[in-house]
Copies of this chain bind each other. A is one copy, B any other.
Amino acid sequence: MDGDTMVALASIITAGLTIAIGSIGPALGEGRAVSQALNSIAQQPDSSNTITRTLFVGLAMIESTAIYCFVVAMILLFANPYWDHFAQ
């Protein structure tokens, strides 16, 4: 196998696994945050503004870790820094 084949293979497999594994944590974390937000709104409807605002900031924070993974996966697929070296 030549270098370009192996780099392409590694990039494809790693991109998929990165976003696949990287989506487990954020999805579970966001599910927990959302479910607690709904619970809090039901308990304290008057604070729903503060709650949803804090929720969205928190979700963005959690989503950021998923986005790190998505960014790395996209870099590996479309802007792989090692590809130019091998793909003559």
Contacts and interface: CB of A to CB of B under 8 A. Distances in A.
Interface of A is mostly: helix
Range, interface on chain A = 35 or more
Contacts of A41: 40, 42, 44, 47, 50-51, 54
Interface string A36-50: 111111111111101
B7 A8 contact: yes
Contacts of A55: 34, 38, 54, 58
Contacts of A19: 18, 20, 22, 68-69, 72
Interface of A: 1-48, 50-52, 54-59, 61-66, 68-70, 72-73, 75-78, 80-82, 85-87
